[in-house]
Amino acid sequence: MTTAQSRDQIADQIASELGHSFAGEMIAGGHYVPIVRDGRTLYTSGQVPRVGTTVVVTGRVGEAVSLEKAREGAQICALRCLTLLRRELGSLDGVEKVLRVGVFIQCTAEFTQQSEVADAASDLLHRVFGDAGVHVRTAVGVYQLPKNASVELEMTVAAKGDKA
């Protein structure tokens, strides 16, 4: 008999597959908080592909950064958002539904594969949450991101329960 993995275990497994851990402190870079809860809705601040204190995917996609590396960056950003949600809710099992994901890609004017970069994060969320991970999404190419990050991702989710 096999037991189903929890959402937390799946997220940890994906982080391990990428060779990263998100166990340390996640520090905001200014006068804001990394996550806000309003009733059952939780909003994360934009997360760059930072592991520890290092932004691990930097540069312009389509120039210094490949599509595959940008996709990895999007996955790291998504895992950072999941870490924030897990800390706020105690477990990812407290998430009822991923509502919205916004993905910003620092890219050249010629790069047109923003959706493919964002797909990596969307696929990760579906892997963790199943159908509850299917969401609306915006993927936008931009000229520059904080710390020269290649990708930045923000997320909105609904929590389980009736907290208003």
Give the domain CATH number at 126.
Answer: 3.30.1330.40
Q: Directed axis angle between helix 114-129 and helix 67-89, to 10°? A: 40
Residue 150 located in a structural domain: yes
pTM metric for this prediction: 0.94
Residues 6+ apart with CB under 8 A from 97: 129, 132, 135, 157, 158
What was the pLDDT predicted at 163? 63
Separation CA 91–CA 110 (nearest Å): 41
Separation CA 23–CA 19 (nearest Å): 13
- Total domains in the chain come to 1
pLDDT in tens, 122-141: 999 999 999 999 999 999 99
Residue 44 located in a structural domain: yes
Residue 2 located in a structural domain: no
Residue 163 located in a structural domain: no
Residue 28 located in a structural domain: no
pLDDT in tens, 15-66: 999 988 887 777 777 889 999 999 999 999 999 999 988 999 999 999 999 9
